Amino acid sequence: MPFSATHPHATSTAAAISEAELDGLRLLTLTEPFATMVRLGAKRVETRSWTTSSRGPVAIHAAKGFPPAMRALCHTEPFRSVLAAAGLDGPDDLPRGNVVAVVTLTDVLPADSRDPRLTGRLTPLEAAVGNYAPGRFAWLLDDLRALTTPVPAVGRLGLWRPPPPLLEVLRECLAAA
């Protein structure tokens, strides 16, 4: 099923990904509704309990698993409004088990940092959809490339490399964009 339009804050002018960048592509599996929030451009900071030295393109994979608490989150604000604005009526409309976007991980900062690279992104919506507690990390996501059609894939924990067949499909999707 083709995915609906992006959130009004999504960027559509991201530069093309070079072959060298594609060779270094990593994937990050996020539980819904967070993967879709990234895909829609409503979430430009991913908060994690761990840091990484990795920088560059990261494909966002929506986990297939969907715990009841996360399903319920889709019916609360601000998630409900963002999903509805994109034409998604509820949890069953989310593209679980699929790669939905490619972003550029530009930096990782302490989540409670006063660094302007982080504080400049912390809109009320962004603050509501992340965990900025001390000891956590804020992954800054830029250059959103939302995939028009989600790409099926099996997720993994951590940052992971795509198997060659998935990399080829993503290469084709990104070239067509």
Cα dihedral 65, 154, 108, 122 sign: negative
Reported as a pLDDT band with limits 50, 70 and 90, residue 11 is very low
Domain assignment of residue 55, yes or no = yes
Place of tokens 């009320």: 124
pTM (2 d.p.): 0.89
Domain assignment of residue 78, yes or no = yes
Domain assignment of residue 9, yes or no = no
Q: How many domains does the chain have?
A: 1
Count of residues making up the chain: 177
Is 58 in contact with 27 (CB distance < 8 Å)?
yes
pLDDT at 15: 59
Domain assignment of residue 7, yes or no = no
pLDDT at 73: 95
DSSP line for 121-163: T--HHHHHTS---TT-EEEEEEEEEEEEEEEE----SSEEPPP
